[in-house]
């Protein structure tokens, strides 16, 4: 019998301790005597670009590519990661270059000695973004605490505005100083992978230029995204007034009722204090008070306020029965530990 475990997270130094614990458990408790590791390695530039685009798309990254690389380079150092993996697997670790392998699934199943039957009609569900669409997501991460549902993509909103953008002409700029590798680093990598000099050189190579820096498009992308956000907010059925409050660093309501008996309204409040447990949120509709669900995980907001622990769980949500039907406004209050409340939002149905 064979047990297959796979995770892209194991290419990160932060996740290697959990892998080590898993291997120990398999060997000690499950009686598995043979554990083999297989790693497919992209070129250094390809991997960092892919990592950047995925974390911008799904983890709320707001940094441009050069700044992101400078911050993440050490934790994604391939020599360090492979050395740790080699410590865990020893000689049973096999390292393959990703680029020349046409179908990694077929290659991997071949290593296992198992038949591989890929569906000819299979649809990829996690298709990566290009540099232009990634920059649009990054700009939206800066402009909005969450990329709103229903974002059709930059090319779609650009086309509506009569703007044509060719994604094939743009890419992220390469901070070459960060990508240079000395002979010692190349030698260590060759020793860890067992690759020939040509494959090692290909891994560390910096692609030739020719494509324009996507950062040059950022002002245009920002203008298009701001217009789309403004149109989307305008089209909602409610208007929101945010009132000033010294205890609040930033706040917004970004999800509104869409009709029906129960209407869900949600947003976020980033508090200035380090102890958000001293405060609670309440909704007031007429003379009735409703407690909000608060402290919901908010990774995109945390990325915008890295020094504020309250930003990690800043989102809230509340269901208000019949809000659409009543046609009434409501207030959201922030109440301190002594029961003193202050209105931070007034929500009113849009007129006309």
Q: What are phi and psi of 251, to 5 degrees?
A: -160, 155
pLDDT digits (tens, 9 = 90+) for 324-348: 555 667 899 999 888 898 999 998 8
Separation of alpha carbons 167 and 135, rounded Å: 11
Confidence of residue 32 (pLDDT cuts 50, 70, 90): confident
**Distance, CA of 13 to chain centre:** 18
Q: Is 293 in contact with 316 (CB distance < 8 Å)?
A: yes
Cite the DSSP H helix spans in 29-130: 44-58, 65-72, 78-89, 104-112
Q: What is the dihedral of CA 141, 146, 151, 156, to 10 degrees?
A: -10
The pLDDT value recorded for residue 192 is 95
β-bridge partners, 144 = none
The pLDDT value recorded for residue 54 is 93
The pLDDT value recorded for residue 260 is 45
pLDDT digits (tens, 9 = 90+) for 187-203: 999 999 999 999 999 99
Q: What is the mean pLDDT of the chain?
A: 85
Separation of alpha carbons 8 and 16, rounded Å: 11
pLDDT digits (tens, 9 = 90+) for 271-297: 987 676 788 999 988 778 888 888 999
Confidence of residue 221 (pLDDT cuts 50, 70, 90): very high
- Global pTM reads 0.66
Residue 149 pLDDT > 90: no
């Amino acid at each position: 019998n064979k047990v297959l475990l796979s995770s892209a997270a194991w290419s990160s130094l932060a996740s290697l301790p959990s892998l080590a614990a898993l291997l120990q458990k398999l060997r000690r408790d499950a009686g598995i005597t043979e554990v083999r590791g297989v790693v497919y390695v992209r070129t250094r530039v390809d991997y960092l670009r892919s990592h950047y685009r995925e974390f911008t798309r799904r983890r709320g990254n707001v940094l441009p590519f050069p700044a992101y690389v400078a911050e993440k380079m050490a934790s994604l150092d391939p020599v360090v990661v492979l050395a740790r993996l080699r410590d865990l697997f020893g000689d049973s670790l096999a390292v393959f270059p990703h680029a020349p392998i046409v179908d990694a699934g077929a290659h991997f199943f071949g290593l296992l000695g198992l038949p591989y039957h890929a569906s000819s009609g299979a649809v990829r569900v996690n298709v990566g973004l290009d540099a232009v669409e990634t920059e649009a997501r990054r700009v939206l991460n800066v402009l909005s605490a969450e990329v709103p549902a229903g974002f059709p993509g930059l090319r779609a909103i650009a086309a509506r505005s009569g703007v044509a953008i060719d994604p094939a002409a743009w890419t992220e700029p390469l901070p070459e100083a960060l990508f240079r590798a000395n002979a010692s680093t190349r030698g260590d990598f060759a020793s860890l992978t067992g690759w020939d000099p040509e494959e090692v050189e290909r891994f560390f190579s910096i692609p030739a230029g020719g494509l324009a820096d996507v950062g040059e498009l950022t002002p245009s992308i920002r203008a298009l995204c701001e217009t789309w956000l403004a149109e989307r907010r305008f089209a909602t059925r409610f208007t929101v007034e945010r009132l000033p409050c010294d205890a609040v660093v930033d706040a917004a309501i970004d999800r509104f009722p869409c009709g029906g008996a129960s209407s869900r309204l949600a947003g976020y409040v980033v508090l200035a204090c380090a102890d958000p447990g001293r405060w609670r949120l309440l909704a007031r509709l007429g003379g009735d008070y409703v407690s909000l669900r608060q402290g919901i995980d908010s990774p995109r907001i945390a990325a915008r306020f890295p020094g504020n622990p309250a930003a990690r769980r800043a989102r809230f949500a509340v269901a208000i029965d019949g809000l659409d039907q009543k046609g009434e406004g409501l207030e959201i209050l922030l109440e301190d530990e002594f029961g003193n409340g202050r209105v931070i939002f007034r929500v009113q149905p849009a007129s006309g």
